[in-house]
Amino acid sequence: MLNYFSDNQDLEFTLKNLDLAEITGMLEKNYTTAEKFEAAPVDFKDALDNYERALKVIGEIAGERIEARSRTVDQVGAQFKDGKVIYHPLTLQNLADLTQAGLMGVMLGHEYGGLNFPCSVYTMMTEIVSRADASLQNIFGLQDIAETINFFGNDDQKNFYLPRFASGEFDGSMDLTEPDYGSDLQSVRLRAYQDEKGQWYLNGMKRFITNGCSKVHLVLARSEEGTTDGRGLSMFICEACPQLVVRRIEDKMGIHGVATCELQFNDVPAQLCGKRRLGLIRYVMSLMNGARVAISAQAVGIAEAAYRQARKYASEREQFKRSIDKFPAIYSMLSSMKVRLTAARALLYETTRVVDLRNTYTHLVEHGTPTDEDRAKQKYYTKLAAQLTPMCKALATESANSIAYDGIQIHGGTGYMRDFNAERYYRDARITNIYEGTTQLQIVAAIGGVMQRDADKRMEELFAIELPADLAALRDKLATLHAKQLEAVKFVSEKRTDDGSKDTAYHDLMARNLVEMETFIFVGLLLLRDGAICADRAPIAERYVLDAVAEFERRYLNVCSGDTKLIANHRDIIDY
């Protein structure tokens, strides 16, 4: 019987070794929740058993049912007829299976009928689902909508919506993008206005809305007349109704199983979620960060599927009287794919651990009786999460694209055909480094933390881990890179133009190099840590670090060259 959790020793290793004890204890209020809720764990061991059981359940659903249905779902896709989105019956069956298993309110509290699991475990679930059918994750993974209402909604909103999300009665969408404003959310125009009784209404257009046919919508809208920036935007909750029209669905390259909708709001009744003016500044940024973690997991799931398909094909395909995985050209590609996959997963779950700590300490600071130490931790984890989340999305999604690309190459001509799933993995992977912020925007989000050295404390902890001699030698290489990274950051921060002003153009041009250099060091330390725990993982850590040294040096030389020619003459190149 196929189980997409139990057959993945990397995920099992992650669950076993990810430090969730502090997080779980805070989520379960020192395990006093067990006094009120039968399903709540009595201690950390009990909680860990709950996590593992749930992961095995979703692993079996994914391996036995969702994957078997995925080709048909991809071939037929979501349909649009007479103004209605029609999901494939197999997609609906997938959702019914997940609902019946009680997996639609994974992070919601026990009081709302949820499992009260940490983000880290939920992320493992989204990875597992994505491996089976990436498009299904775009519906299952929108549980972040409920989490946003939980974080920022009032009690009436939470009591009404959250139990219905947990039961699977409600699904959600986040309605942010507009026809002329994709990444530039501060320019959103969809209008929110109140009548004389204080009832809010929404008027305008949204585009590229994943699962825009949902029952519940979180909508970013301009509530303050006369404003043109992010401070005039608020977050609203509305429900599907005749005034909310799906105008069409997009004809997409991949993720065919989920509808991507263009929406028209014609005086749609809505409720304010949270406070006015904080829609973009606080609420959407929180929602987007959760979505970026989910897309990172989607990317890792697709990469896992692509790698396994390629490995299986290479072991079975014979040329010149031997299987092609015996040829250096192929086994080097497979090895690289596995290293990139493992690296992306290591950063993903380090990121989710930090996100969990940020969330639990933020809740304590805002709703509990925090100490000064608690406040300091909340501030620290907030900054660290702000750097790691975009770093993670950049690495995971770019890795998924390259792994899916190599997967097709290993299949040769058959990979270009629809006979195998290799081409679907490539099509599905391609969106991951675009939506919820392109890789270029992830660099913009991460570079501030790199320049301010927000991850140095965590890297110091990782550098201090006791390692066997062979891995310690690799750590020394990373220490050398870290010293060079500090030099590069200093060089860019101090670089000036001819008139003596800060060279912001050079800073922006070199941002991707600096973020990727930081990623090489941070992920290398994570893999060395894991190699010390399990010797079988050491070869992956070694390969990653040795490759990272070469890649780092190229970027380091580029950053410290001070070469500004591209800034001066890029139009000459582009316009030739």
Q: What is the pLDDT along the chain (576 residues), one digit of tens a residue?
A: 899 999 999 999 999 999 999 999 999 999 999 999 999 999 999 999 999 999 999 999 999 999 999 999 999 999 999 999 999 999 999 999 999 999 999 999 999 999 999 999 999 999 999 999 999 999 999 998 999 999 999 999 999 999 999 999 999 999 999 998 878 889 899 999 999 999 999 999 999 999 999 999 999 999 999 999 999 999 999 999 999 999 999 999 999 999 999 999 999 999 999 999 999 989 888 888 899 999 999 999 999 999 999 999 999 999 999 999 999 999 999 999 999 999 999 999 999 999 999 999 999 999 999 999 999 999 999 999 999 999 999 999 999 999 999 999 999 999 999 999 999 999 999 999 999 999 999 999 999 999 999 999 999 999 999 999 999 999 999 999 999 999 999 999 999 998 999 999 999 999 999 999 999 999 999 999 999 999 999 999 999 999 999 999 999 999 999 999 999 999 999 999
Please state, in angstroms and rounded to a whole number, the distance separating the CA atoms of residues 297 and 141.
Answer: 10
Do residues 227 and 212 lie in contact, with contact meaning Cβ atoms separated by under 8 Å? no
Bridge partners for 282 per DSSP: none
Domain ranges for the chain: 1-170, 172-277, 278-449, 455-574
The answer to whether residues 273 and 237 touch, using CB atoms and an 8 Å cutoff, is: yes
First to last CA, the chain: 59
- Structure tokens of 464? 């201090």
CATH of the domain spanning 455-574, picked from 3.30.420, 1.10.3470, 1.20.120, 1.10.1420: 1.20.120
Hey, which residues does 318 pair with through a beta bridge? 323
- Please state the φ and ψ torsions of residue 270, each to the nearest 5 degrees: -150, 165
What SS3 state is found at 175? Answer: strand
Read off the tokens for 284: 């959407």
- Write out the H or E segment, with its range, that includes residue 430: helix 422-430
- E strand segments, 20-146: 79-81, 84-86
Q: What are phi and psi of 81, to 5 degrees?
A: -145, 130
Q: What is the dihedral of CA 408, 413, 418, 424, to 10 degrees?
A: 10
Residues 6+ away with beta carbon under 8 Å from 532: 465, 466, 467, 468, 471, 538
Please give the C-alpha separations between residue 288 and each of 185, 310, 311, 520, 524, in angstroms, as whole numbers.
Answer: 11, 32, 34, 24, 27
Backbone angles phi, psi at 519, to 5 degrees: -65, -40
The rounded distance, in Å, linking the Cα atoms of 172 and 291 is: 13
Residues with Cβ < 8 Å from 213, sequence gap 6 or more?
84, 85, 173, 240, 246, 259, 261
Scanning 28-66, the segments in alpha helix (DSSP H) are 44-61
Query: For 226, how many CA atoms within 13 A lie in the half-sphere containing its CB?
Result: 0
Report pLDDT for 562. Answer: 96
C-alpha span between 214 and 239 (Å, rounded): 8
* Spatial CA neighbour of 71 closest among 133, 126, 140: 133
Q: How many C-beta neighbours within 10 Å does residue 74 have?
A: 22
What lies within 8 Å, CB to CB, of 123 at 6+ separation is: 293, 294, 296, 297, 348, 349, 352
Q: Distance (Å, rounded) from C-alpha 508 to C-alpha 565?
A: 14
Show Cβ contacts of residue 461 under 8 Å, excluding neighbours closer than 6 positions: none
Q: Which CATH number fits domain 278-449: 1.20.140.10, 3.10.180.10, 3.40.50.300, 3.40.47.10?
A: 1.20.140.10
DSSP code, position 65:
I
Where does 1-170 sit in CATH, by number?
A: 1.10.540.10
Could you tell me which of 481, 469, 478 has the C-alpha nearest to residue 538? 469
HSE-up (13 A, CA, CB side) for residue 9: 5
Beta bridge partners of 266: 203
Residue of 214, 188, 207, 215 lying closest to 248 (CA atoms) = 207
Report the number of secondary-structure helices (H) and strands (E) in the chain: 20, 11
**Which residues 6+ apart lie within 8 Å of 44 measured at CB?**
20, 21, 24, 25
Residue with tokens 């912020």: 437
CATH superfamily membership of 172-277:
Butyryl-CoA Dehydrogenase, subunit A, domain 2 (2.40.110.10)
- Residue 183's pLDDT is 80
